[in-house]
């Protein structure tokens, strides 16, 4: 049978742990970075991590300028995002498809619409109003 009751904790061990914490744990009110120590992860925004003596080569600066100032079609040969596909390929794949009856098969004249327009013209019997619209 398993015992589900909590086990008793020795108060001497708790006192000992608290005393060690009090002795070795120091609370600092403000942070002062050690500028001479090497940081594990470099941060580009931290003043103490940026190396001032190294210069960026001019060719890298020109590459960045060319990349950010040019339009996307000049930078790469393919659309980088899905939204760029809409304006990327401007030429038609199959040439002029307006003359091709296989691809362009809309009706030139619908008989129902033609009949409706003829009936509408025949039903107009009233002459348009030619008088003054308001009393003067």
**Structure confidence at residue 53 (pLDDT):** 58
Mean pLDDT, the chain, integer: 80
Model pLDDT, residue 106? 72
- Top pLDDT among 52 and 83 is at 83
pTM comes to 0.27
Residue 20 has pLDDT above 90, yes or no: yes
Q: What is the pLDDT of residue 127?
A: 74
Average pLDDT for 29-34: 83
pLDDT at 48 over 70: no
In this prediction, residue 126 carries a pLDDT of 72
Contacts of 46 (CB under 8 A, 6+ apart): 39
Sorting pLDDT into bands at 50, 70 and 90, what band is 130?
A: confident
């Amino acid at each position: 049978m398993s015992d589900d009751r909590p086990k008793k904790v020795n108060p001497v061990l708790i006192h000992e742990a608290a005393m060690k914490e009090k002795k070795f744990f120091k609370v600092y009110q403000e942070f002062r970075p050690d500028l001479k120590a090497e940081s594990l992860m470099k941060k580009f925004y931290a003043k103490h991590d940026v190396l001032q003596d190294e210069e960026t080569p001019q060719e890298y600066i020109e590459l960045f300028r060319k990349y950010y100032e040019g339009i996307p079609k000049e930078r790469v040969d393919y659309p980088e995002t899905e939204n760029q596909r809409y304006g990327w390929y401007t030429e038609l794949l199959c040439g002029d498809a307006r003359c091709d009856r296989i691809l362009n098969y809309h009706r030139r004249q619908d008989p129902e619409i033609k009949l409706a327009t003829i009936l509408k013209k025949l039903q107009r019997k009233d002459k348009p109003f030619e008088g003054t619209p308001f009393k003067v």
